[in-house]
Amino acid sequence: MVAYMDLSRNNLHGHFPTELTNLIGLVFLNLSRNHIDGHLPDAISNLVQLGSLDLSSNRFSGVIPSSLSSLTFLSRLNLSNNNFSGKIPVGNQMSTFNESSFSGNRNLCGPPLAVKCGSNRSDDIPSVPNDDKEENETDEWFPLSIGLGFASGIFVSCLILWIKRPWGEGYFLFVESVVCWIERAKIKTAQVTVTKKKNRSPLILYRSNGVLKVNLVWMCCVTYSEGIQK
């Protein structure tokens, strides 16, 4: 009768061999650090003499069978670093194991883990922590808050300029003077030809990249300046 079986670190692949559940005298079973995948069968409860079970660092998935709680001799359990999901079974021996027995399974929930399960089903996916929810809500509101702040700034500025007419006129005069100054600086660096015609406002012509252009902004600045002087 087989009582001790250690097949760890053997690069084993495939599903859990159900034939092992027929070894009712098995006391120690170690299949850790392999590549075993699939579900852990409910028939694992047939190993009534089992005292130590190590299935860590494999690729097991699905829920942990509740039949494990019927193994009253089980004193050591390690299911860490797998892909188990749902709620950890409770009762009997299952209540004696600490968090390290189930760590590394991102979709497990329930005691002894700190992750709480949903209230709808026993195999629910773990509920999202409050910190993650708050972070997601912050990410969603951040672009909206920027847009609202920008729009509010423009609205308040326009409202002030509309209420305080002298301020508005001073602001636009300042903008016009800046534009005129920029245009003067541009024209000084270009070849300028001034053509004056009778009864017409002066047109400023200059060459840029070999193309003759009319600087209408400069014409407006000149007209505006002459108006002020009058």
Rounded to whole angstroms, how far apart are CA atoms 62 and 119?
19
Q: Which two tokens stand for residue 59?
A: 């690729």
- Name the fold adopted by 4-129: 3.80.10
Give residue 65's pLDDT. Answer: 93
3-state secondary structure of 172: helix
> Looking at the whole model, is its pTM more than 0.85?
no
Tens digit of pLDDT per residue, the chain (230 long)?
Answer: 789 999 999 999 999 999 999 999 999 999 999 999 999 999 999 999 999 999 999 999 999 999 998 999 999 999 999 999 999 998 888 888 999 999 999 999 999 998 888 755 444 545 444 554 455 555 566 667 677 776 777 766 666 656 656 665 666 667 777 777 787 776 666 544 444 444 444 444 444 444 444 444 445 444 444 444 44
Domain positions in the chain are 4-129, 164-230
The β-bridge relationship of strands 13-15 and 76-78 is unpaired
Give residue 55's pLDDT. Answer: 96
Rounded to whole angstroms, how far apart are CA atoms 98 and 116?
15
Q: C-alpha 95: how far from its chain's center?
A: 35
Give residue 229's pLDDT. Answer: 44
Q: DSSP letter at 103?
A: T
